[in-house]
Amino acid sequence: MNLFGRHNLNRAIDDCTFLVGLATRSIMTGERVDVLRLGYRLGRDPRITTHLALVGRALGADRFLLAGDQDPKMFENLESVASRFGGGMDCQHVKSPMGWLRRFVEEDAGDGLPGVAIHLTMYGEPFREAIPRIRRDRPVVLVVGGAKVPGDVFKHCQYNVAVGNQPHSEVAALALFLDAWYGESGSNRTFDDARLIIQPSAKGKSVRDLDREEEE
């Protein structure tokens, strides 16, 4: 290849790299993504519901909404994780989830305009087929059911999507959906305010403790 051809090839590679980076930043800086957990039962669901919130925080969600019993202790634990590992996520209790969901999709998603509701259910359409059709220019809420899901959820949500049509964990469904929604930019997130930073390692554990380093 002559010098002119090599120059053009390098320029094309640089242009592609720039466009990919721009697209990635665009996806991660899009409209707000909430997770709404329905039917929480204090004393019965804390572990799996905490994991839902942690998955949401780690993979790109901005807010965790809890419907059902109130659990201030859970919110305190989530805040503790965020204070150590960074990336704080707003947590709120929703008293009337069906009313909140209806207003979100029909009237006001927080800015005076309707939002997009996506219900994760094994009875829905394949999530990878649905995602390309879902608009990204409006706030999104991912609805995760509990022991019993009201029929109105299927009616209010614009999309009822399935991460496989078999019974399994709602935590797995949320993780797979967010991974497909954000791509690698979701699972590779880093938080500038982290005090504990996990350094990837093929063997063993490697964690930087910034508070300890500052004391030394």
Instruction: Please give the pLDDT value at position 30.
Output: 60
Residue 73 is part of which domain span? 11-185
In a domain, residue 135? The reply is yes
The total of structural domains in the chain comes to 1
SS3 of residue 36 by DSSP: strand
In a domain, residue 16? The reply is yes
Instruction: Please give the pLDDT value at position 118.
Output: 98
Where in the chain does DSSP place strands (E)? Answer: 33-40, 63-68, 90-94, 116-126, 140-144, 159-162, 196-198, 207-209
Q: Which two tokens mark 120?
A: 């994760």
- Residue 31: CATH number of its domain: 3.40.1280.10
CA 125 – CA 121 distance, rounded (Å): 9
Per-residue confidence in pLDDT tens, the chain, 216 aa: 554 454 454 454 444 433 434 343 334 446 899 999 999 999 999 999 999 999 999 999 999 999 999 999 999 999 999 999 998 889 999 999 999 999 999 999 999 999 999 999 999 999 999 999 999 999 999 999 987 899 999 999 999 999 999 999 999 999 999 999 998 777 778 888 899 999 999 999 999 999 988 887
In a domain, residue 215? The reply is no
In a domain, residue 213? The reply is no
In a domain, residue 197? The reply is no
In a domain, residue 5? The reply is no
pTM: 0.83
In a domain, residue 64? The reply is yes
Give the neighbor-by-neighbor strand order of the sheet with 90-94. Answer: 90-94, 63-68, 33-40, 140-144, 116-126, 159-162
The strand pair at 116-126 and 159-162 is best described as: parallel
Q: How far apart are the two ends of the chain, measured CA to CA in Å?
A: 55
Instruction: Please give the pLDDT value at position 144.
Output: 97
In a domain, residue 193? The reply is no
Secondary structure string (H, E, C) spanning 180-195: HHHCHHHHCCCCCCCC
